[in-house]
Amino acid sequence: MIIKIKAGLSQDVIEQLTKKCEAFHINYLNEEFLITGAAVKELPEAVKEVAIENWVFQNDLQLASSAFLPVKREVKIGNVTIGGNTKNTVVIGGPCSVESLEQITQSTQFIKSLGLQVLRGGCYKPRTSPYSFQGMGLEGLKLLAKMRDEFGVAVITEARDATHIDEIIEYSDVIQVGAKAMYDQGILRACAKTQKTVLIKRGFGTTLQEFVQAAEFVLAGGNPNVVLCERGIRTFETGTRFTLDLCGVAWLKKYTNLPIILDPSHAMGYAYGIADLARACVAMGIDGLLIETHPTPKTAKSDASQQLDHTEFEAVINSLKPVALSVGHTIC
Ligand code: PEP
Ligand code: MN
């Protein structure tokens, strides 16, 4: 249950209430809320005097639900605001991994030349094999910071586990919680303590409910700036790397209040399908796209087969613009 309580209560009183009700307390847009588990269906006695409004839920999709906030949240991705009534579709581009100063500089200059504002690049890579490239770590984060300083782009980079989450929070504008990391309680709880935007990717074996509940950890812990990212789930099909769950995206649009970004690159796994998928995504009126691009995909140290070269990426962006326009959105 979400309970909106009177403004102006002392910290002590709020603390007592959270203990008595076994609840979280958050302040959202200058209003105070307590959140209990969804099993609570009747307003607890302890809050009756201070409660203004309450919402009862069937399950723990609560703060993220459209039943609580019928209008999608506005969230910042760098300087771009998505969600709300913005109708912005932000395109996040860049390589799978930061590999060298030269590679990330070329990528940043390219992204900027297309008028895009958000650069991606992994520095701590959650690889399936220990023998694959694991990322440049802190050295890579410093290169991303250099790109931000020199070119004015916002940067998004992923946390692999909780050991380096403080570094990721310090160096990134948007924290990416990857498909394999989205169950990591250490990462989620640390993300709850910052106000930086957190992009949570759906695990490839994760139900929509579990996916949104990962977001609930961040929201209930005090950070309202969460974005969901569908990046493909595992099905019986092996011809493509994963299967982009557009039905799931329709569900998320209906039942949640969080902006939604789609990642056709990891879903498809091959460069040849990205353009078609990206257009299909944009036609759904989504809040953003994440597409991998590399100056020389063949030499990429991770996800080589799915990264677009710069010519291919530019062609995709140009082809997205009229699709976005047809659903009242702007690519930015
Ligand atoms: C990535 O964005 O490079 C990545 C590892 O994504 P995912 O967590 O979706 O596999
Ligand atoms: Mn990748």
pLDDT digits 0-9 by tens, 142-185: 999 999 999 999 999 999 999 999 999 999 999 999 999 999 99
pLDDT tier, 5 (very low <50, low <70, confident <90, very high otherwise): very high
Any domain includes 103 = yes
- Between the alpha carbon of residue 129 and those of residues 126, 133, 134, 236, 302, the distances in Å are 9, 9, 9, 22, 11
CB crowding 58-76: b at 16 or more within 10 Å, else e: eebbbbbbbebbeebbbbb
Look at residue 64 in the predicted model and tell me its pLDDT. Answer: 98
Could you tell me the residue range of the domain that residue 44 belongs to? 2-55
Any domain includes 20 = yes
pLDDT tier, 288 (very low <50, low <70, confident <90, very high otherwise): very high
Closest CA to 135 of 266, 15, 301, 273: 301
Any domain includes 158 = yes
50 and 148 fall within a common domain: no
Any domain includes 66 = no
Any domain includes 167 = yes
Residues less than 5 Å from ion ligand 2, measured at CB: 96, 303
199 lines ligand 1 (CB under 6 A): no
Atom 10 in ligand 1: residue holding the nearest Cα? 179
15 and 127 fall within a common domain: no
173 and 36 fall within a common domain: no
146 and 203 fall within a common domain: yes
Any domain includes 63 = no
Residues 6+ apart with CB under 8 A from 233: 202, 204, 205, 206, 242, 243, 245, 248
Ligand 1 centre to CA of 294 (Å) is: 15
94 and 185 fall within a common domain: yes
Any domain includes 181 = yes
136 and 27 fall within a common domain: no
19 and 135 fall within a common domain: no
232 lines ligand 1 (CB under 6 A): no
231 lines ligand 1 (CB under 6 A): yes
222 and 125 fall within a common domain: yes
Any domain includes 67 = no
21 and 133 fall within a common domain: no
pLDDT tier, 320 (very low <50, low <70, confident <90, very high otherwise): very high
249 lines ligand 1 (CB under 6 A): no
d(CA 309, CA 313): 6
